Amino acid sequence: MAVSRELQQFKAEFFKALAHPLRIRILEVLSEGDRNVNEIQALLGLEGSAVSQQLAVLRAKNVVSGTKDGTSVIYSLRDPQIRELLEVARRIFDNHLVDAISLLETIRNE
């Protein structure tokens, strides 16, 4: 029982870490390869501390890791299966979108 509760707590904390659009975008960028903060900001078209703040959350929840490289930190996914999780979430979203479009077409044709 205790292991089950611990697993449920881990899952809840893990999904809380993912529960922000910018954190998802950061993970999508990192799923394509390791990057430093400046590279992530440039790829996302953002400036300022927003990316650093969200990276700190992801790091605290052990979703990403950072490795010092001179004066910068290179961020990477702690587990490559996060990439697969993002792909599955995308497929689920696509399925919901297809269902919504189908429903709208049915309504329109009635």
Q: Which residues pair with 87 in a beta bridge?
A: none
Bridging pattern class, strands 72-77 and 35-36: antiparallel
- Average pLDDT of every residue of the chain: 91
Contact indicator for 75, 35 with CB cutoff of 8 Å: yes
Q: Where are the domains of the chain?
A: 2-79
Structure-token pair, residue 50: 């927003």
Percent of the chain residues past pLDDT 90, beyond the cut = 70
Q: What span, in angstroms and rounded, lies between the C-alpha atoms of 48 and 35? A: 16
Q: Is the pLDDT of residue 1 over 70?
A: no
Contact indicator for 26, 44 with CB cutoff of 8 Å: yes
Q: What span, in angstroms and rounded, lies between the C-alpha atoms of 18 and 12? A: 10
pLDDT in tens, 23-40: 999 999 999 999 999 999
Average pLDDT over residues 1-7: 81
pLDDT category at 78 given cuts 50, 70, 90 is very high
3-class DSSP assignment, residue 84: helix
Q: What span, in angstroms and rounded, lies between the C-alpha atoms of 12 and 78? A: 18
Average pLDDT over residues 50-61: 95
Average pLDDT over residues 89-109: 83
CATH domain 2-79 topology:
Arc Repressor Mutant, subunit A (1.10.10)
Q: What span, in angstroms and rounded, lies between the C-alpha atoms of 22 and 76? A: 16
